[in-house]
Amino acid sequence: MGVILNPQYVVDNKHSTKAVMLSIEEWNQVLEELEELEDIRSYDAAKAGLQETLLFEEAVRQIQGDDKE
């Protein structure tokens, strides 16, 4: 996707950068990108690990409490 930012910098009297300001629209775009990145990382971690799989019907039975194990 990519986010186009127009940051404004807050500097002190020695011209050292102390903070960055973004518009609320830009900030919301940054948050959306971070959430998407988190989803991608979670997907990659799940795909890399060994996980038990269940048939859909079995999962429904377990959720509904019909599992007799």
Question: Could you report the per-residue pLDDT of 9-32, keeping only the tens digit for each?
Answer: 999 999 999 999 999 999 999 999
Q: How confident is the model at residue 53 (pLDDT cuts 50, 70, 90)?
A: confident
Helix/strand/coil for 29: helix
| pLDDT for 49 | 79
Nearest-angstrom CA–CA distance, 59 and 41: 25
Regarding pTM above 0.75, the answer is no
Give the residues across from 19 on adjacent strands: 10
The answer to whether 4 and 23 have CB atoms below 8 angstroms apart is no
Domain boundaries, the chain: 8-64
Residue 33 has pLDDT above 70, yes or no: yes
pLDDT in tens, 37-51: 999 998 888 888 766
